[in-house]
Amino acid sequence: VIREGRIEFDRVTFRFGAAEVPVLHHISFTAEPGKTVAILGSTGAGKSSLVSLVPRLYDATEGQVRIDGVDVRDIDLDHLRSRIGLVLQESVLFTGTIRDNIRYGRPDASDEEIEQAARAAQAHEFIANMPEGYDTMLGQRGVNLSGGQKQRIAIARALLVRPVILILDDSTSAVDLGTESRIRAALAELMRGCTTLLIAQRITSVMDADHILVLEEGKIAAAGSHAELMRHSDIYRDIYRS
């Protein structure tokens, strides 16, 4: 069903369980196929809640989330999730080899494909430098990767799946500058051709987005391109200057 990856939020309100105060209020926007919508907002503004409605980690309380015109609740859940790549702050790596972690969404992937994805994700070098390379165990009894390394494994995993929709959290946990620019290059490669929802902590990463939503207490406080917001939004200019 999912072909182009147009995402529409249509007056979406969301509450956690029976909570009185909604976390998201009447959110409407469209992410056109292949475009990037960045979501900017302070901690607790509702950014993670918003993106979690796309792969149906939660469902909207009111309103509709649609992909290619279809309510996400009417899309087969396995199909929905197989077309969405998730690269979040706390990337979910499991106990197992690096190879198994990279091919998680594509168990049939060949060793060549896995290495190709790892190279594009700027992860091949550090993996190759480990004593057991791609067979190195991660998790409880295995090696511990740094935040930036975990993120690149998650990027390699997403590259292998070639999802239609990408949900990204661009916050890189304390990494050096060289690593940060490598992660940026890997993310750019991953975003090519995908409709991307980008949770952005930094203004520098939203400037290139096709559309920016400024979220405040679950509401869209401002929306537009960087140039438009610089012209018309006091809120955005304040964030820009801070």
Burial class (CB in 10 A: 0-12, 13-18, 19+), 204: exposed
Using the minimum distance from each CB to ligand CTP, give the nearer residue, 65 or 121: 65
Q: What are the tokens at 50?
A: 């918003």
38, 45, 98, 120: residue in contact with ligand CTP (rule CB under 6 A): 45
**Binding flags for ligand CTP, 49-88, as an x/- string (CB under 6 A):** x---------------------------------------
CB-neighbour burial class of residue 98 (10 A; exposed 0-12, middle 13-18, buried 19+): buried
How many Cβ atoms from other residues are within 10 Å of residue 164's Cβ?
Answer: 22
CB closer to ligand CTP out of 29 and 126: 29
Site for ligand CTP in 158-217 (CB under 6 A): none
User: Which span (36-44, 79-87, 114-122, 147-155) binds ligand CTP, by CB under 6 A?
Assistant: 36-44
In whole angstroms, give the CA distance from residue 199 to residue 51: 8
- Choose between 44 and 139: whose C-beta lies nearer to ligand CTP: 44
Please name which of 25, 5, 8 lies closest in space to residue 66, comparing C-alpha atoms: 8
- Nearer residue to ligand CTP within complex by CB, 64 or 201: 201
Residues 202, 172 contacting (CB under 8 angstroms): no
C-alpha–C-alpha distance, residues 29 and 216, integer Å: 15
**Between 5 and 34, how does the x/- string for binding to ligand CTP read (CB under 6 A)?**
-----------x------x-----------
Rounded least distance, CB 236 to ligand CTP, Å:
16
The residue ranges that bind ligand CTP (CB under 6 A) are 16, 23, 41, 43-49
